[in-house]
Amino acid sequence: MPFVKAGQQIQVLVVDENPLTRFGILSVVNLHPELHVCEEAADALTACALFIRERPTMVVLDVSLPKGDGIELVRKFSRLRTGCSFVVVSDLRDSATVRRAFQAGAGAFVSKTDEAAELFCALEAVITGRTYLGKVVSSTFISKVELKSPSRLQKLLGTLSDRELHVFRRTARGQGVTAIARELSVSVKTIETHHRRIKEKLKLCNSSQLHSTARAWLDSLHKL
């Protein structure tokens, strides 16, 4: 539960690439009498700078972000500010991503296809020290029984680091090595090393298998 003095509002940082999505989240957050949006960011680097400057006690963020990764931000911000709470709002809802978000320190995970009321409930849950899983994500887990019987690929994806999973998601969206390197402000060689490790961990023989597996994984998420 975030530490705030009596009568003092909880300051919230909203991080999402899409301006309309940020506006929607901001609107829901500001409906809660205990919450106030102190800043908003469209990418991970800006979010880091604002987090250090504003010192919010709650962050509402997406997993997929330009110039970084939402789960990595949760881990980093948790170390920088003890007691900060995190609500993830994402279009990703596979078990590997959801598990990883909670392991990193998230208190709630809501799908972007959920009703606005679900986000409000998630905010309320986190304020009172409870965890929350949105209806769309919950129904996906129930229908696929993913929490009890994860697929072979989901198990292997669980062995990837946060950065490797982020690169895998970018690869699934058709981004090449150079584009991913530019996005993350690292060298092409670094991304090539990530690709090599991903292939090893997912037991893939070559780059062609990596790209086809990544695309198939992304297609499977759209069918959930």
Determine the 3-state secondary structure of 61 from DSSP: strand
Ranges 127-136, 148-157, 165-174, 203-212: which has the least confidence: 148-157
Confidence of residue 70 (pLDDT cuts 50, 70, 90): very high
pLDDT > 80? residue 41: yes
Q: Looking at per-residue confidence, does 202 or 61 come out higher? A: 61
Q: What is the pLDDT of residue 143?
A: 52
Q: Assign 205 a pLDDT band (cuts: 50, 70, 90).
A: confident
What distance in Å separates the CA atoms of residue 141 and residue 146, rounded to the nearest whole number?
5
| Paired sense of beta strands 10-15 and 58-61, if any | parallel
| 91 φ, ψ (degrees, to nearest 5) | -85, -5
DSSP label at residue 96: H
Q: Does residue 10 have a pLDDT over 70?
A: yes
Roughly what angle, to the nearest 10 degrees, separates helices 162-172 and 188-201? Answer: 100
pLDDT value of residue 141: 62
Q: Distance between CA 68 and CA 43 in Å, rounded?
A: 7
CA–CA dist 28, 119 (Å, integer): 7
Taking a C-beta distance cutoff of 8 angstroms, is the pair 16, 25 a contact? yes
Cβ atoms of residues 215 and 207 within 8 Å: no
| For range 140-151, the mean pLDDT | 53
Residue 174 DSSP code:
T
Q: Are 49 and 8 in contact (CB under 8 A)?
A: no
Calculate the CA 107 to chain-centre distance: 12
pLDDT value of residue 209: 86
Pairing between strand 35-41 and 10-15?
parallel
Question: Residue 221 pLDDT more than 80?
Answer: no
Q: 0.85 exceeded by the pTM?
A: no
Mean pLDDT of 108-134: 93
